[in-house]
Amino acid sequence: MVIPILGLLAGLALGLLVSFQVPLTYVKYSAIAILAAVDTLLGGVRAQCEGRFDLRVFLSGFVVNTLFAAGLTALGDLLGLDIYLGAVVAFSIRIFNNIGFIRRDLLGLVWKTPPLEAGET
């Protein structure tokens, strides 16, 4: 668990040090893509907690979710419709869900709490 966190920190440090900037036209899309990527990241952690982590699912989800979120936002811009709001809501809910599951799983690992019941986070 420590190594991925170190990777995250290293990525943050790299991003702050490098003077690369997102082109202004794509700022909106990259923000949504980040949301999707964070969601997938948490999904990966949760899957590992539940012992059903699949590398192919994780990587394909990481790439496809990210691209699809950005693509959806772009489509919304083409239509003059704020479709990205849908992506924001969906990914936010999923992120909260994932965090809830991870919390449960970790608590269960430490204190042997009973398995999660449906509908409860």
Partner 1 sequence: MTPRSVFAGRRWQLALTAAALVVGFVLAVQVRTERLIETNLQVTSGRLGEVAYRYRQVEARQAALRGRLAELRREIADEEQQAAAGRAATEALAADLARMRVLSGLTPVHGPGVLVMIADSTRPLKPGEDPNLVLIHYSDVHAVVATLFAAGAEAVAVNDERVVGTTGIACVGTTILCNTRRLAPPYRIEAIGDPHALAAAAMAQGGILDELRAFQFPVTVTVESDVRLSAYTGTFVHQFARPVDAGR
Residues within the interface to partner 1 (CB under 8 A): 1, 3-16, 18, 20-22, 24, 27-28, 30-31, 33-34, 37-38, 40-41, 44-45, 48-49, 51, 53, 55, 58-59, 62, 106, 109-110
CB 85 within 8 A of CB 93: no
Measured torsion, CA atoms of residues 105, 13, 63, 37, in degrees rounded to the nearest 10: 50
Q: How far is the CB of 121 from partner 1 (least distance, A)?
A: 20
Residue 112 DSSP one-character state: -
Q: How far is the CB of 119 from partner 1 (least distance, A)?
A: 24
Residue 112 or 119 with smaller CB distance to partner 1: 112
33, 34, 58: which is closest to 44 by C-alpha?
Answer: 58
Give the total residue count for the chain. 121
Q: How far is the CB of 81 from partner 1 (least distance, A)?
A: 13
Tokens standing for 45? 């952690």
Q: How far is the CB of 94 from partner 1 (least distance, A)?
A: 15
